[in-house]
Structures are given as structure tokens and as C-alpha cells.
Amino acid sequence: MIYEIRTYGDPVLRNKNEDVKKIDDNIREILDNMVETMREISGIGLAAPQAGINLRLFVVEAEEGVVKKVINPEFIEYSKEIIDYEEGCLSVPGIHKKVKRPESLKVKYLNEKGEKVEEELDNLWARAFQHENDHLEGILFVDKIAPVAKRLVSKKLLNMKKETLKKIGK
Ligand code: NI
């Protein structure tokens, strides 16, 4: 099943996301649907709130054919090296801006079998994990762009928010 992507201005993107308490077929189905949705729209990552689900889940495919399904992530260490790199987001269509983030990190999470995974990630994997994890904190990449860049897109964001609120009937 393909989810409808929630867009900028939708309160579901700012809600609190709950830890997954039990990894069952329902959760595995959500993760499969998220992967299907991400691939349908050629994304490299998708977090549950973007599908209207306020749970601590995301999926990332930073290399073609390699999918990571991430449950209750916890970042335990960041590199000191910071990289400024252009990002976009399926929930903020049409906007691409640079965001500063640590180059690499260590993360702990549960996979879809409920197994504990601990990994060191760098490059696009580290970038995508941080972007998706921000979604679980109700943070969007446009919250983190430089003030000058933010001013350049502020009108676009305002219009996007209006369109979103109209679409969801608020
Ligand atoms: Ni995003």
C-alpha cells in the first residue's frame, strides 16, 4: 500500500512520536508500506510521521537495493567533522537547501525482527539517518537551514502550509 505523503504545515509532522512497544506483523506491514511508498516516489528515506503515523520508525535506502528498516533509533556518538550538504524532503517538495550535519555517527536501533542493531554510518547513510531521525523529533530540514536561505524560501513555505491546511480541511 502506498501512503499519501503528509506535507509541510500538517500538524502530524510536528506531533510527538511514540516508541514502538511490540514489533509485530502490523509494524512489519507499516515498514513494508513505507518502503513501497519511498520507492514509488524515488526517495532515499521516509519516516513514519510523513505517512501520518506517529511512531518512532523510518526506512532508508541510501544505496540502491539496500534497505534499512529502523525502529526506536538512538544515536550514541557523532563525529566532530561537520559537512554542509544539500537536502530535500518528500514533505517539503520543491525546496533543496544545504544543512550542516556530522559526517558520521554510531546508532542503535531494532530491526523488523526485533533484533538489536548497532552500526557506524557515514556518507549518505549518516546524512539520511539524521534527516529521518529529525522527523521523529518533529524537526524538518528547513528548520535547520541558514537564516539567509530560510528567508529565500519563507514565502514558498508559507504558501505550502496554506495549501496543506486547505487539503486536510483545517
Ligand atoms: Ni524528510
Q: Distance (Å, rounded) from C-alpha 45 to C-alpha 121?
A: 15
Output the CA 109–ligand 1 centroid distance in Å.
Answer: 19
Catalytic: which of 81, 132, 137, 163? Answer: 132
- Dihedral angle computed from the Cα positions of residues 57, 60, 65 and 69, in that order, rounded to the nearest 10 degrees: -20
Cell numbers placing 104: 558520521
pLDDT in tens, 30-74: 999 999 999 999 999 999 999 999 999 999 999 999 999 999 999
**What's the CA-to-centroid distance between 98 and ligand 1, angstroms?**
13
DSSP 8-class letter at 11: G
pLDDT of residue 170: 76
| Full set of structural domains in the chain with CATH | 11-167 (3.90.45.10)
pLDDT value of position 5: 97
In the predicted structure, residue 100 carries a pLDDT above the cut 80: yes
Ligand 1 centre to CA of 94 (Å) is 12
Report pLDDT for 92: 97
* Mean pLDDT, range 70-88, rounded to an integer: 97
Residues by chain with Cβ below 5 Å of ion ligand 1: 89
Catalytic status, residue 132? yes
| pTM exceeds 0.85, yes or no | yes
Average pLDDT over residues 5-12: 98
Per-residue pLDDT tens digits for 10-22: 999 999 999 999 9
CA of 39 to the centre of ligand 1 (A): 14
Exposure string over 114-125, b if 16+ CB within 10 A, otherwise e? eeeeeeebeeeb
Mean pLDDT calculated for residue range 128-145: 98
Sign (positive or negative) of CA dihedral 138, 105, 107, 88: positive
Distance of CA 131 to the CA centre of its chain: 5
Q: Mean pLDDT check: name the lowest of 115-119, 125-129, 146-150.
A: 146-150
